[in-house]
Amino acid sequence: MTGIYFSGTGNTKRCVERFLNGMESGAETFALETPQAAEAAKCAQEIVFAYPVYYSELPKIVRDFIVGNAGLWRGKSVFIICTMAMFSGDGAGCAARLFKKYGANVTGGLHLKMPDSIGDVKILKKSSAQNRGLIKKADEKIDRAVADIKRGKYTRNGLGIFAHIAGLLGQRLYFGGKTKKYYTKVKADGKKCVGCGICAGVCPMQNIKIENGKAEFNGKCTMCYRCFSRCPQRAITLLGKRVYVQNKYEDYGETLCSRTK
Ligand SMILES: Cc1cc2nc3c(=O)[nH]c(=O)nc-3n(C[C@H](O)[C@H](O)[C@H](O)COP(=O)(O)O)c2cc1C
Ligand code: SF4
Ligand code: SF4
């Protein structure tokens, strides 16, 4: 089994690693923005594919990876893990439909509620204790799913027709278009930015460069909030105007994480 995932602020990475550790010791995971990911998918027969849901849709980088490697999926078994802050309807279904179109056998889907990665919009903000609680529940759900699969019963979150309708009517119809193109409005406050380059180093799209000691963005943002959550000056914003909280999985997860390895 091989894990292929996208993760902006670490939630999805954590979930796929825990799932795979439970399924099979020594299973490898690859971030899909790395050069090894497509080769790993090519060699694997069973893939666990994981991503965060954005507006009940696939992040642009995730859709591009699946479509850009369309020839790789025929005959593969794919189990889908989808993380979210609150609701997606058919988060796993979005990738499942694409994988099926390209000839894969989708074996199941798992939806996991995790901390919200959008730190510059006030709604959905939770306390650290509440976020830890969410992670604990997600861990328990992952462990139950692993135990079920070992008994031959695959969870099917997000794959049915009702989930499809809920995803479509609940959000995708109105907001799903936001993930069809790359986002151009990510910005750094020039007064706060000190040109440290941390944001450029973590961006999965190589969308950031440092020019004249300041961060500049090149119009190819997949809205992952990785730069936002790591900027030491809290200078970056995307959807909102103010940094409320910089969520990163490792801020909550260190003690929980040690249980997985
Ligand atoms: C642009 C954007 C859109 C999002 N849309 C949704 C959504 O529609 N429903 C939801 O429950 N969570 C939504 N989220 C929250 C993330 O799916 C959630 O926090 C996820 O666990 C982040 O995973 P990561 O840390 O692996 O990036 C959104 C996050 C972003 C950045
Ligand atoms: S991480 Fe923040 S301070 Fe550092 S270059 Fe990027 S925007 Fe500027
Ligand atoms: S610019 Fe920031 S939010 Fe956009 S893709 Fe790069 S790291 Fe993610």
User: Which pLDDT score is estimated for 253?
Assistant: 67
In the chain, which residues have pLDDT < 50? Answer: 255-261
CA distance 6 to 50: 6
Model pTM score: 0.95
Distances 5 to 2, 83, 125, 209 between C-alpha atoms, Å = 10, 11, 25, 25
Phi, psi (degrees; rounded to nearest 5) at 128 = -60, -40
Provide the pLDDT for residue 174: 77
Q: State how far the Cα of 142 lies from the Cα of 162, in Å rounded to an integer.
A: 22
CATH code assigned to 2-178: 3.40.50.360
pLDDT of residue 261: 31
Distance CA 126, CA 123 (A): 9
Question: Measured in angstroms, how far is the CA atom of residue 201 from the centroid of ligand 2?
Answer: 10
pLDDT of residue 107: 97
Which tens digit of pLDDT belongs to each residue from 126-149? 899 999 999 999 999 999 999 999
Residue nearest to atom 3 of ligand 2 (CA): 193
Ligand 3 center to residue 25 CA distance, Å? 32
| Tens-place pLDDT, residues 216-234 | 999 999 999 999 999 999 9
Within the chain, which residue ranges are assigned CATH 3.40.50.360?
A: 2-178
Residues enclosing ligand 2, CB less than 6 A? 188, 193-199, 210, 215, 231, 233, 235-236
Taking the CA of residue 234 as reference, the ligand 2 atom at the shortest distance is 2
Q: Rounded CA gap, 114 and 223, in Å?
A: 17
Determine the pLDDT at residue 254. Answer: 56
Q: How far is CA 62 from CA 95, 137, 178, in A?
A: 9, 26, 14
The dihedrals phi and psi of 62, each to the nearest 5 degrees, come to -75, -45
Instruction: Report residue 197: phi and psi, to 5°.
Output: 85, 0
Average pLDDT, rounded, for the chain? 93
Q: CB-side exposure of 196: number of CA atoms within 13 Å? A: 15
184-237 CATH: 3.30.70.20
Contact assessment for residue 64 and residue 98, using Cβ atoms and an 8 Å cutoff? no
Nearest CA to ligand 3 atom 2: 227
Q: Token pair of 54, please?
A: 């954005």
Segments in the chain forming alpha helices (H): 11-23, 36-43, 60-68, 91-101, 128-150, 161-167, 173-175, 198-202, 226-230, 249-257
